[in-house]
Amino acid sequence: MDGEENPAEELRCDFCGEHAPNVRRVALDSGYDRLQKPHRERYACARCSEQKEQERHSK
């Protein structure tokens, strides 16, 4: 990087593959703990994060 690039342009959602200005990772929630279980960390754009959260809460 030459200091002129915006690092946010390089962020990509691990679920849909789209570029995103920011990504999220939920690791701990009621009844959901990804801090203790070994796994590959995945980051989601806002749309995929909301969709995954709705799916998690509907179980």
Write out pLDDT tens, residues 1-59: 444 555 546 899 999 999 999 999 877 677 767 777 787 888 999 999 999 889 878 87
In DSSP terms, which residues pair with 12 in a beta bridge? 19
**How many whole angstroms separate alpha carbon 53 and alpha carbon 32?**
11
Q: What is the reported pTM?
A: 0.67
Give the pLDDT confidence score for residue 3 in this predicted structure.
47
**How many whole angstroms separate alpha carbon 36 and alpha carbon 14?**
21
**Full DSSP string of the chain:** --S-S-GGGG-B-TTT--B-S--B---EETTEE-SSS------B-HHHHHHHHHHHHT-
Domain ranges of the chain: 7-57
